[in-house]
Amino acid sequence: MSFAAPSLGSVGGRSAGRAFEFGRTYVVRPKGKHQATIVWLHGLGDNGSSWSQLLETLPITNIKWICPTAPTRPISIFGGFPSTAWFDVGEISEDAPDDLEGLDASAAHVANLLSTEPAEIKLGVGGFSMGAATALYSASCFTAGKYGNGTAYPANLSAAVGLSGWLPCSKTLSNRLQGIDEARRRAQSFPVLLCHGKGDDVVPYKFGEKSSECLNSTGFGDVTFKAYNGLGHYTIPEEMDEVCAWLTSKLGLEGKTA
- Contact 141/134 with Cβ under 8 angstroms? no
pLDDT of residue 255: 61
- Contact 213/170 with Cβ under 8 angstroms? no
* Range with lowest mean pLDDT among 50-64, 77-91, 130-144: 77-91
pLDDT of residue 204: 94
pLDDT of residue 17: 53
| pLDDT above 60 (res 48) | yes
Q: How confident is the model at residue 2 (pLDDT cuts 50, 70, 90)?
A: very low
Q: How far apart are CA 123 and CA 9, in angstroms?
A: 29
Q: Is the pTM of this model over 0.85?
A: yes
Torsions phi, psi for 159 (to 5 deg): -170, 155
pLDDT of residue 41: 98
Domain at 23-251, CATH from 3.40.50.1820, 1.20.1260.10, 1.10.10.10, 3.30.300.130:
3.40.50.1820
Q: List pLDDT tens digits, range 160-170.
A: 999 999 999 98
Torsions phi, psi for 121 (to 5 deg): -85, 130
Higher pLDDT, 187 or 15: 187
Q: List pLDDT tens digits, range 69-119.
A: 999 999 998 999 999 999 999 877 667 789 999 999 999 999 999 999 999
pLDDT of residue 257: 47
Higher pLDDT, 128 or 16: 128
